[in-house]
């Protein structure tokens, strides 16, 4: 059974995923600083912006930041708690796409459709980690993956292959915001 949109937001906030949790704010700010050290960019699309904490961190560091979020409770939360957010009804192409913990909620077809519409120059990507079983192609789901709506779990190589097919080169692994983050660049 998957969480409702309202339950998803409530659980995230209880877990500290909030623009008011100082630890999470530090993570978001450190993530912005880490990507600043790697590439030059001026515009950001925070795709799957959630509660808006990453969007807020990019904006506070001087970037023109656009937030795209499909869940209404999350959009309402951002409107109420993060003034001056630029919420989009449709994603747009920017210099950098912040694509953090979103792709595992999308089918391959949805991802392909998205990247036919937009073509950001760079992508800061992170997805739920998978667990390789004895070096085989089989991957175990975490206990709560289905509850969280994780329908697309891939290996690191699987994501690299997916982005390669979309016209993006793997640049390097990134340590923020998660240890399984990656930086991609459009060819």
What's the average model confidence in pLDDT over 23-30? 96
> Residue 181 burial (CB < 10 Å; 0-12/13-18/19+)?
buried
Domain span including residue 76:
5-186
Of 13-17, 68-72, 165-169, which gets the smallest average pLDDT?
Answer: 13-17
pLDDT number for residue 52: 97
Q: What is the mean pLDDT of the chain?
A: 88
- Helix, strand, coil percentages, rounded to 5, for the chain: 35, 20, 45
**Residues 106-163: tens digit of each pLDDT:** 889 999 999 999 999 999 998 876 544 444 444 444 444 454 555 456 777 888 999 9
Q: Are strands 43-47 and 96-100 parallel, antiparallel or unpaired?
A: parallel
The CATH number of whichever domain residue 58 belongs to comes to 3.40.50.150
- Structural domain total, the chain: 1
**Tokens standing for residue 186:** 């459009």
DSSP state letter for 83: T
Q: Give the torsion sign (CA, 152, 183, 170, 99).
A: positive
């Amino acid at each position: 059974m998957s969480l409702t949109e309202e339950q998803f937001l409530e659980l995230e906030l209880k877990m500290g995923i909030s623009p008011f949790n100082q630890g999470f704010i530090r993570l978001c700010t450190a993530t912005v600083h880490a990507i600043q050290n790697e590439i030059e960019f001026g515009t950001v699309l925070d795709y799957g912006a959630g509660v808006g904490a990453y969007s807020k961190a990019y904006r506070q560091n001087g970037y023109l930041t656009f937030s795209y979020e499909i869940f209404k409770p999350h959009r309402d939360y951002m409107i109420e708690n993060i003034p001056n957010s630029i919420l989009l009804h449709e994603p747009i192409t920017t210099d950098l796409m912040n694509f953090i913990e979103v792709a595992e909620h999308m089918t391959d077809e949805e991802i392909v459709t998205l990247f036919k519409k937009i073509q950001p120059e760079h992508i800061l990507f992170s997805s739920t980690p998978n667990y390789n079983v004895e070096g085989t192609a089989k991957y175990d789901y975490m206990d709560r993956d289905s509850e969280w709506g994780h329908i697309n779990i891939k290996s690191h190589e699987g994501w690299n292959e997916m982005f390669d097919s979309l016209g993006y080169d793997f640049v390097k692994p990134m340590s923020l915001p998660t240890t399984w983050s990656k930086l991609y660049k459009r060819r």
